[in-house]
Amino acid sequence: MENRRPLIAGNWKMYKTCSEALETAGKLKDLVKDVTDADVMIAPPFTALSAVSDVVKGSCVSLGAQNLFWENEGAYTGEISAAMLLSAGCRYAIIGHSERRQHFGETDEAVNKKIKTAISSDLIPIFCLGETEAERESKDTFSVLDKQVTNGLKGFVTDELETLVIAYEPVWAIGTGKTATSGQAQEVHAFLRSWIEKNLGNMLAKSIRIVYGGSVKPGNIAELMNMPDVDGALVGGASLDAEIFSKIVRFDK
């Protein structure tokens, strides 16, 4: 895995009220307080960010947002800017999650603008991509990923992407209990890393973190992390429980 520092990130999606989020974050902070060999991030709903930020401040748990909008401010009802996320304590922003693409019509072009905004605001973007089951079955996985990564990273130069994290999340593995095998994950991660090498250079290809998401659990994290191009995980369901998530953080059953 070269010298890439693992990132274990929890995407809480539309789960947890403010008080539930505080309770889980507080437990997690204690459970992972001795972890020094991985970055740990949680992305609660927007409504809980500020409160959770107070709880995890000074700990090894960082805060992330599940989305952002590319404008700084304005008449955009329901949207959240990078400056708002920074002021709520966020360091990371998940961008282009398949649920946003699927249910909210988020396009590659929107994803590209959001990554630009995150980077220019000093938020670490976690750029999500992945194929659907039908696309995998029709053997279109690599062409779909090529299009997503090409469009998502359009117009960037290498230096701007130093902090970028890519999350490979096969849509068919999200919330289904069907994890990609470690071999399937490795194959795609290696493809993405070689895309970076070809288009943005060898240095970035070596340093960029590519994490896997889709039914990650304590029982499969160690095998996934054994793969040379898997640098961490973006965890949905199993991140909602502090004990279970802390096991994933330790790559422990």
Task: Check 97, 106, 135, 189 and give the catalytic one.
Answer: 97
The contact mask relative to ligand 13P for 204-223 (x = CB under 6 A, - = no) is ---------xxxx-------
Task: Check 99, 106, 131, 169 and give the catalytic one.
Answer: 169
Q: Is-catalytic flag, 189?
A: no
Residue 175 binding ligand 13P, by CB under 6 A: yes
Q: What is the DSSP letter of 13?
A: T
Among the listed residues 39, 131, 169, 231, the single contact to ligand 13P using CB under 6 A: 169
What SS3 state is found at 108? helix
The contact mask relative to ligand 13P for 103-142 (x = CB under 6 A, - = no) is ----------------------------------------
Indicate the residue type of 58.
G
Please list, in sequence order, all residues whose beta carbon lies within 8 angstroms of the beta carbon of residue 23, skipping any fewer than 6 positions away.
Answer: none
In this structure, are residues 72 and 41 in contact, taking their beta carbons and an 8 Å threshold?
A: no
Report d(CA 47, CA 44) in Å as an integer: 8
Strands 124-129 and 92-95 come out as parallel
Report d(CA 107, CA 116) in Å as an integer: 14
With CB under 6 A as the rule, give the number of residues binding ligand 13P: 14
Q: Of the listed pieces 25-33, 133-141, 142-150, 169-177, which binds ligand 13P according to CB under 6 A?
A: 169-177
- Tell me which residues are annotated as active site: 97, 169
Binding residues for ligand 13P (CB under 6 A): 11, 97, 169, 174-175, 213-216, 234-238
